[in-house]
């Protein structure tokens, strides 16, 4: 009978929180199963249990008809399970060849047969069509190359079940193609494959069946041939899009002319062909994954990065500034993704953090009388408006606030400065749910007062919750513009390529 690996009713908790709620999974000889799910769905935990790296709290693993309540890594290997984890398991000081034979060094009479080690490595690297020197020390390789060495090791062990946990994340396009070719060959040789990915386009290329996990439960199990991209996305996110809630439609008048406008803009290979405007009174989101060019687009608005094609206008005039100081003078406020690197004075008071961008303005009025009292007043003005949760002491040190409240203080800085345009990159990264809601509310209110707000985010839930309009960018190019109720998680995921 052909090889099967069945996981049944698998439960697993970490620190009292259950992350797998009795999951079943089937892997069969000659079949590639794509395992999908959002971050945190439980994919890695499940396959680690199958490979013996973690132990389930309850449930069974039935390998070729034989039932085990738990497996050790050694037992799993002996049963033919090979796993390529997200975390690398390679030994950096050893050579490529040694790594490939790690855990199964060929020996005779107590002597390691180094020549066999080397030949085995040469053979498998050849078969994988990768040009990596078997004698190179693994620590000197690129991440993608290390990934391939991991794959070579798993393949050299003549596995009956091969598990790959997001293997293409670090691979080039060509390397991924070679890997797929290899997986197809293994499938035809009767190996069972479980393939975890977040790239939906890979599913159609490589998989026979698709299994979607959502919050530790199976949300979809189907043949790939009968499953559309939409089905997979819907299964991954469930009804969350509706639960998240959209902001109310704009009931206010937008300004007549855009506050910010990019026209066919491009910058040093990071993005190109982007046209986007932000009107006074609206919140516009640019959604794109890391490396999509979204962040670089934001940087051009603050004079951090020059355009090398197209135009960027502020209030219908080409921008004249080429540094952040100039941007501030022209009424642009900017919140970078990294609070610490980007302007939060961690060991100074919250009041100073609020007032710093306004010092030139305040000094004009108060001259040498610009004192702590003036700063304190500035801070108090915003403390309630933004629901900053602190000790209500303007002299409290910034560092002692939570991330979300630090972020609110930084927003208050630009409000105090009377910025007419706010550019915010990942405004709620690392911020807890409560503070997140406050920040979204604050941004909406600011828009209602006529400020033009641009939110750049790699978090699609953020785009859904805050934006009136949304531009999706992928690989440096605009791919979709969505408005109002059309800004849903599935539309965003679909547009950005899964
Ligand atoms: P996925 O691979 O689908 O992104 P994981 O299996 O890595 O999801 O994680 C599922 C949940 O279990 C997450 O909430 C994660 O934080 C938690 N988790 C995973 N591994 C551990 C661990 N070693 N200790 C504590 N929590 C963990
Ligand atoms: Mg994972």
- What are the pLDDT digits (tens) for 246-296? 777 766 678 889 999 999 999 988 999 999 999 999 999 999 988 899 999
Cα–ligand 2 centroid distance for 232 (angstroms): 17
Predicted TM-score (pTM) of the model is: 0.68
Q: Name the closest-CA residue to atom 27, ligand 1.
A: 14
Q: Which H or E run contains 149?
A: helix 143-156
CA 404 to centroid of ligand 2, rounded, Å: 26
Q: Flag whether pLDDT at 368 surpasses 60.
A: no
The closest ligand to the CA of 41 turns out to be: 1
Closest residue by Cα to atom 18, ligand 1, is: 14
The protein residue with its alpha carbon nearest to ligand 1, atom 19, reads 45
Residue 216 Cα: closest atom of ligand 1: 10
Does the structure show a pLDDT above 90 at 306? yes
Q: Whose CA is nearest to atom 15 of ligand 1?
A: 40
Q: pLDDT for 323-356, tens place per residue?
A: 998 999 999 999 988 877 667 888 899 999 998 8
Query: What span, in angstroms and rounded, lies between the C-alpha atoms of 286 and 292?
Result: 10
pLDDT at 398: 92
Return the pLDDT at 366.
62
Number of Cβ within a 10 Å radius of residue 417 = 23
Q: Is the pLDDT of residue 419 over 70?
A: yes
Whether residue 358 is predicted with pLDDT greater than 90 in this model: the reply is no
> What's the 181 CA to ligand 2 centre distance in angstroms?
23
The single-letter DSSP state of residue 369 is G
* Structure confidence at residue 369 (pLDDT): 59
Q: From the centroid of its chain, how far is CA 373?
A: 42
Distance 207 CA to ligand 1 centre (A): 24
Tens digits of per-residue pLDDT, 32-83?
Answer: 999 999 888 999 999 999 999 999 999 999 999 999 999 999 999 999 999 9
Q: Using alpha carbons, select from 461, 485, 456 the residue that is nearest to residue 472.
A: 456
Integer Cα distance of 2 and 7 in angstroms:
16
Q: 288: which 2 tokens?
A: 């794109």
Query: Could you tell me the distance, in angstroms and rounded to a whole number, from the CA of residue 157 to the centre of ligand 1?
Result: 27
């Amino acid at each position: 009978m052909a090889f099967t690996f069945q996981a049944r009713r698998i439960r697993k908790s970490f620190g009292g929180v259950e992350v797998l709620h009795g999951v079943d999974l089937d892997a069969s000889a000659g079949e590639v199963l794509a395992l999908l799910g959002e971050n945190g769905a439980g994919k890695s935990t499940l396959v680690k249990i199958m490979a013996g790296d973690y132990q389930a709290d309850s449930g069974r693993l039935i390998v070729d008809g034989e039932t085990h309540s738990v497996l050790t890594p050694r037992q799993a290997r002996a049963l033919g399970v090979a796993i390529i984890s997200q975390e690398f398991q390679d030994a950096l000081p050893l050579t490529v060849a040694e790594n490939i034979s790690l855990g199964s060094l060929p020996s005779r009479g107590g002597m390691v047969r180094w020549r066999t080690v080397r030949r085995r490595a040469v053979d498998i690297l050849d078969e994988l069509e990768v040009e990596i020197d078997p004698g190179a020390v693994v620590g000197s390789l690129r991440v993608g190359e290390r990934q391939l060495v991991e794959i070579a090791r798993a393949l050299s062990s003549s596995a009956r079940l091969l598990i790959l946990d997001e293997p293409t994340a670090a691979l080039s396009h060509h390397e991924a193609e070679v890997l797929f070719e290899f997986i197809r060959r293994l499938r035809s040789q009767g190996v069972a494959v479980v393939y975890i990915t977040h790239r939906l386009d890979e599913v159609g290329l490589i998989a026979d069946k698709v299994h979607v996990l959502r919050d530790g439960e199976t949300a979809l199990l189907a043949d790939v041939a009968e499953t559309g991209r939409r089905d997979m996305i819907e299964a991954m996110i469930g009804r969350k899009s509706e639960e998240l809630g959209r902001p109310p439609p704009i009931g206010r008048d937008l300004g007549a002319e855009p506050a910010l406008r990019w026209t066919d803009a491009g910058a040093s290979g990071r993005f190109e062909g982007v046209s986007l405007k932000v009107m006074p009174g609206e919140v516009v989101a640019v959604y794109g994954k890391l490396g999509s060019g979204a962040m670089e687009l934001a940087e051009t608005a603050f004079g951090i990065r020059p355009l090398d094609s197209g135009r960027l206008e502020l209030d219908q005039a080409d921008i004249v500034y080429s540094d952040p100081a100039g941007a501030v003078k022209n009424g642009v406020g900017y919140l970078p993704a990294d609070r610490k690197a980007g302007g939060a004075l961690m060991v100074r008071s919250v009041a100073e953090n609020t007032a710093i961008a306004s010092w030139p303005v305040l000094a004009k009025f108060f001259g040498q009388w610009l004192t702590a009292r003036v700063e304190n007043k500035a801070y108090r003005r915003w403390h309630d408006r933004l629901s900053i949760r602190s000790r209500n002491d303007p002299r409290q040190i910034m560092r002692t606030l939570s991330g979300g409240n630090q972020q609110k203080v930084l927003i208050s800085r630009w409000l105090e400065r009377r910025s007419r345009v706010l550019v915010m990159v990942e405004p709620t990264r690392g911020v807890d749910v409560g503070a997140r809601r406050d920040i979204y509310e604050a941004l909406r209110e600011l828009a209602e007062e006529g400020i033009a707000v641009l939110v750049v985010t790699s978090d699609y839930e953020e785009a859904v919750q805050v934006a009136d309009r949304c531009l999706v960018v992928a690989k440096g190019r605009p791919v979709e513009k969505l408005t109002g109720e059309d800004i849903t998680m599935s539309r965003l995921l679909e547009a950005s390529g899964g």
